[in-house]
Amino acid sequence: MKKTKKRILTACIISATVILLAAVWFHIPYSPMKAEFERDVTRLAADEGYDAADRVITDESIAHLPQAVQDYIRHCGYIGTPAVKYMTIDFHDVDFRQGKDGPALTIDYTQYNFTAKPCRMAFIDTYMFGIPFQGYDYYEDGKGGMKGVLAKGITLFDERGTDMDRSCLVTYLAESFCCPSIFLEDFITFEEVDRNRVRARISYAGQTAEGIFVFGDDSEIIAFTTEERGLSGTDGTVEYIPWTVRCSDYAPSADGILHPTKMQAIWNYPEGDFVYFDGEMKEIIYK
């Protein structure tokens, strides 16, 4: 009997210790994935291979763009501003779903988009059932991927491959309207469809992707649509479903530039739209 009680006590002590250590690990700021993200961003931001300091967005520099794109750049106040090396966008308390059957989460989302070449880094930080969940989306040198980690160390998914490369490339294209310096680079071309729609095509590292920017009558971009962003299934298959980014509620930031403050990412299923990202921009910074 005494040995049994001793074993039970020992087991309880071990269990309590494990729970305590897990709680400490979950709540300390450090995580291997976040450290990887921060290292990558620091490395890219320090790259001296591209200098935007002497470039300014002018009427002359955008004269080759379709009229709707020119009107957007002027309307938002970019004329006379310097071209930038990268932008940072912070979203807080985003309503997010990994998939139709995935749990509804509230996430913080930070992204960096670079201008000299298609390059994008984004980090998701949230909790799932009280356990930290973190995600890292990346695209660099023509290679893209998406990783998800639970409890800072358990890999839930690590998606890579040609379809992911292309999906990341078209995502970069979709977000380029937040940083019109990208419109001046030669890897993006435009074709006017009609007064309110412009087709954009991006070519890089042997891949090409395209989509359509939709403009409101006030010259603000209100949507981007494409059929070239793959949706990965749990069985590893990739399905191509129309995908839309919607943006709204433009407002001036501290620098006087008009930005959309609300953004949604949507899968346009035949049976109806599925909004899986619904957030508000808290801050956008140009460097």
Buried b vs exposed e over 171-186: b needs ≥16 C-beta within 10 Å? bbbbbbbbbbbbbbee
Distance CA 74, CA 69 (A): 9
**What pLDDT is stored for residue 60 in this prediction?**
95
User: Do residue 26 and residue 53 come from a single domain?
Assistant: no
Provide the domain limits for residue 11.
Answer: 1-30
Question: In the prediction, which pLDDT does 237 show?
Answer: 80
Q: What CA–CA distance (Å, rounded) separates 217 from 258?
A: 16
Task: Assess whether pLDDT exceeds 80 at residue 22.
Answer: no
pLDDT confidence band for 18 (50 / 70 / 90)? very low
Whether residues 152 and 263 fall in one domain: yes
Give the pLDDT of residue 94.
96
Q: Are residues 104 and 203 in the same domain?
A: yes
Question: What's 27's DSSP letter?
Answer: H
Model confidence at 25, in pLDDT bands (50, 70, 90)? very low
Same domain, 5 and 97: no
Amino acid at 55: R
pLDDT: is 13 or 271 the higher one? 271
* Predicted local distance difference test score (pLDDT) of residue 232: 79
* 24 and 122 co-located in one domain: no
Q: In this structure, which amino acid lies at residue 32? A: P
What does the pLDDT look like over 254-275, one tens digit per residue? 888 999 999 999 999 999 999 9
Residue 129 has pLDDT above 60, yes or no: yes
Question: Does residue 8 surpass a pLDDT of 60?
Answer: no
State the pLDDT confidence band at 107, using cuts at 50, 70 and 90. very high
Query: 256 and 77 in contact (C-beta within 8 Å)?
Result: yes
Pair (24, 36) in one structural domain: no
202 and 276 co-located in one domain: yes
**Backbone dihedral angles phi then psi of residue 84, each to the nearest 5 degrees:** -120, 160
Both 122 and 242 in a single domain? yes
The domain that holds 80 is classified in CATH as 2.50.20
Tell me: do 17 and 50 sit in the same domain.
no
CA angle 247, 209, 71 (to 5 degrees): 45
- In terms of domains, do 20 and 121 share one? no
Higher confidence at residue 69 or residue 151? 69
Q: Indicate the number of domains in the chain.
A: 2
Q: Does 116 lie in the same domain as 44?
A: yes
Using one digit for the tens of pLDDT, what is the confidence trace for 158-200? 999 999 999 999 999 999 999 999 999 999 999 999 999 999 9
Over residues 103-129, mean pLDDT = 94
Angle at 78 between CA 72 and CA 80, to 5 degrees: 135
| Strand partners for 92 | none
Residues 146 and 224 in one domain: yes
Taken in order 125, 126, 131, 134, is the CA torsion positive or negative? Answer: negative
Is 219 within 8 Å of 71 (Cβ atoms)?
Answer: yes
Write down the pTM of the prediction: 0.88
